[in-house]
Amino acid sequence: MRHILGVIPALLLLAATAFAVPDADTLTFTGQVVDHERNAPLGSVQVRIEGTRYGAVTDREGRYTVRTPRSSLQERRVRLRVQALGYQSETVEVEIPPTGTDTVEVNVRLRPASLALEEVAISPTTFADQTAGSAARHRYPGLPHPDWNREQYAHIDENAFRSPALAPLSTFSIDVDRASYSNVRRFLEQGERPPVDAVQIEEMVNYFPYDYALPGEEHPLALTTELGHAPWRPQHRLLRIGLASPPIDTADMPPNNLVFLIDVSGSMRPPDRLPLVKRSLRLLVEELRPVDQVAIVVYAGAAGLVLDSTPGSEKERVLDAIERLEAGGSTAGGAGLRLAYRVAEEHFLEDGNNRVILATDGDFNVGESSDAAMVRLIQELSARGTYLTVLGFGMRNLQFEKMQQLAQHGNGNHAYIDSLDEARKVLVEEMGGTLLTVAEDVKLQVEFNPARVRAYRLIGYENRLLADEDFDDDEKDAGDLGAGHRVTALYEIVPVGADSDVEVTGEIPLRYRESGGLSPEAEGEELVFVRLRYQRPREAESRLLEHAVVAGQVEPSDDFTFAAAVAGFGMLLRESEHRGDITAEQVLQMASASLGADPNGYRQGFVGLVRRYREVVEGDPVAGEDRQ
């Protein structure tokens, strides 16, 4: 059933979040993580109990709390794994206290990563041209051998089913990035199965536009919900939550103060790297207006200012500077990042869009400083209004996790550009969403009615989860929403009485529970209760909107069916234990039947990608014929 409510988003960074478990038989690990040299608290640090699914992320004070049932700990000692961008990982062995002691304090000091302190020179090697139909081999000094692969992805533990009787609330930050889809497409088009952790289902679902209701004048964002059957388990329900902001005409955008920060190191020589970067940025330059301004900073062995801030009316001058760029040398991204931010600050527009756009293959060695110092710089300047967009290019060298985290810390977007068409989509067709933020710190919180819902599972968003108490904390950072953005979240719901064998975890109270049993609301038709908290840009206090979703059945929309097809495909790619009986053929049928208007052909492209999957992974010759 569809319900529409005006809403506005807010910005969110990962906050200290712990998996809740029943109070009985619970052991709590808590403490603070600090920088070893400066003794300063470190936020956004991952703390996880090895061998379990329990973990947390530190808050701005470096504090964390991890709760786990004692029954999940098989040994007399546990190992806490502590990881942060720019720091050496630490593993702390802790002895499990006897029953009766329910809290253990473990404080950790992290040292900056030593590898981040040096520039890395790459020796010349031979690179095989990856373009289709070409058997030629070319020499690109500075690029590794094609069989050499140092791509990195963060490990993802899929969200489990949770019981609303124990955990009625589900809280997370929105995510508008779509990089995972174009990256997965790149693997399949090369005839390879993508790594499991390269598949982020929420980014795949959010790659596609959906016909969500737009907000009125009061809010910059509207919320839509729709309920139907889960295709992979028809006895389950699938809840779709959609957020939409109105698009903005380029002519109506505030003036842009842009700094292109371009990696011109030796690894950027191949056609799918610097040459594609140059072609991509030309598309954006052609859209600039006289009120806009753009500068160009490059980095390789050293950083340099290629073009000082130049008005958009001088397009030929900007395009000529881009055309002259050549790749060569080692990488020292830290110096480039500092210079780019300095240029952006010197030309800061108080009422404009101030943004650094980093284009790189991900081999981002920061030089004489550490990754952690760069993160602090990015966070400081984003708080002052200069945001960071990260565009990834190329293959075999892609540092996906690092690029994603840099963009998140910079209140910006992360995209992977595998073709000029993708560049046009990100930089031209979605220019408003890429460059103009209309809502910050957007958090969603959903409450489930235990009288009607036996269990629920958030599909994706594993690296965007928040502690429930963070929803009302305006100091907790969250995701930003750009003009014209669409955000989709999917919950798989097990209704009470459904024939299902899923395992369920979780705990907490609220709208549908009160002392002595269920509340009056629980006896009604409500299935779930959705809360949205957001801040307008530069406002200190957040605003709250609430919305109830009533149980019922309607014919699913094309958007609902297509989003479900993409989610099902993501679970197939991940070999998810939650994929039920979904098949590639079923995904293909669902997607083909729900193409809708599809003016840009993105959905039809997804159909082709599923056929390619059947050909590459399932060895289906018919799929190969379909693609001819």
Per-residue pLDDT tens over the stretch 55-97: 787 877 889 998 888 877 767 788 898 887 556 778 899 988 8
Structure tokens at 82: 């502590």
From 57-71, 312-326, 364-378, the region with the lowest mean pLDDT: 364-378
Residue predicted with more confidence, 43 or 227: 227
Residue predicted with more confidence, 99 or 233: 233
With a cut of 70, say whether residue 479 has pLDDT above it. Answer: yes
**Widest pairwise Cα distance in the chain:** 75
Look up residue 515 and give its amino acid. S
Residue predicted with more confidence, 144 or 427: 427
- Determine the Cα–Cα distance for residues 426 and 435; give it in Å rounded to an integer: 10
Four-point Cα dihedral 124, 130, 135, 138, nearest 10: -20
In the chain, DSSP finds a helix count (H) and a strand count (E) of 13, 30
Detail the DSSP E strand segments found in 176-292. Answer: 221-230, 233-244, 256-263
* pLDDT score at 20: 38
Residue 187: band (very low, low, confident or very high) from pLDDT cuts 50, 70, 90: confident
With a cut of 60, say whether residue 8 has pLDDT above it. Answer: no
**% of the chain beyond a pLDDT of 90:** 37
* pLDDT score at 302: 65
With a cut of 50, say whether residue 19 has pLDDT above it. Answer: no
What are the residue ranges of helices labelled H in 438-583? 558-574
**614 vs 154, 200, 326, 585, 621, CA distance in Å?**
26, 20, 39, 8, 8
- Most confident stretch, 367-376, 563-572, 615-624: 563-572
* pLDDT score at 397: 62
Question: 51: alpha, beta or left, given left = phi > 0 and alpha = psi -120 to 50?
Answer: left
Q: Which helix (H) or strand (E) holds 109?
A: strand 108-110
Q: What end-to-end distance do the CA atoms of the chain give, in Å?
A: 39
Which residue ranges make up each domain of the chain? 26-114, 254-428
Residue range 277-287, pLDDT digits in tens: 999 999 999 99
Residue predicted with more confidence, 598 or 146: 598
Using DSSP, state whether 207 is helix, strand or coil.
Answer: coil
The mean pLDDT of the chain is 81
* pLDDT score at 538: 75
Q: Among candidates 355, 399, 441, 392, which has minimal Cα distance to 86?
A: 399
* pLDDT mean over 250-265: 90
- Determine the Cα–Cα distance for residues 349 and 283; give it in Å rounded to an integer: 23
Residue range 524-578, pLDDT digits in tens: 888 898 989 888 887 878 888 889 898 887 889 999 999 999 999 999 999 999 9
With a cut of 60, say whether residue 246 has pLDDT above it. Answer: yes
Question: 357: alpha, beta or left, given left = phi > 0 and alpha = psi -120 to 50?
Answer: beta
**What b/e readout covers 209-218, taking b as 16+ CB neighbours within 10 angstroms?**
bbebebbeee
Residue 433: band (very low, low, confident or very high) from pLDDT cuts 50, 70, 90: confident
Residue predicted with more confidence, 497 or 623: 497
Residue range 127-180, pLDDT digits in tens: 223 323 333 233 333 444 444 456 778 888 899 999 888 888 999 998 888 889
Look up residue 43 and give its amino acid. G
With a cut of 60, say whether residue 391 has pLDDT above it. Answer: yes
* pLDDT score at 507: 39
Residue 324 has a CB neighbour count (10 Å cut-off) of: 11
Residue 488: band (very low, low, confident or very high) from pLDDT cuts 50, 70, 90: very high
Residue range 441-469, pLDDT digits in tens: 899 999 999 889 999 999 999 989 999 99
Q: Which fold has domain 254-428?
A: Rossmann fold (3.40.50)
Whole-model pTM: value is 0.59
Q: Which fold has domain 26-114?
A: Immunoglobulin-like (2.60.40)
Residue predicted with more confidence, 509 or 548: 548
> Are the beta carbons of 205 and 410 closer than 8 angstroms?
no
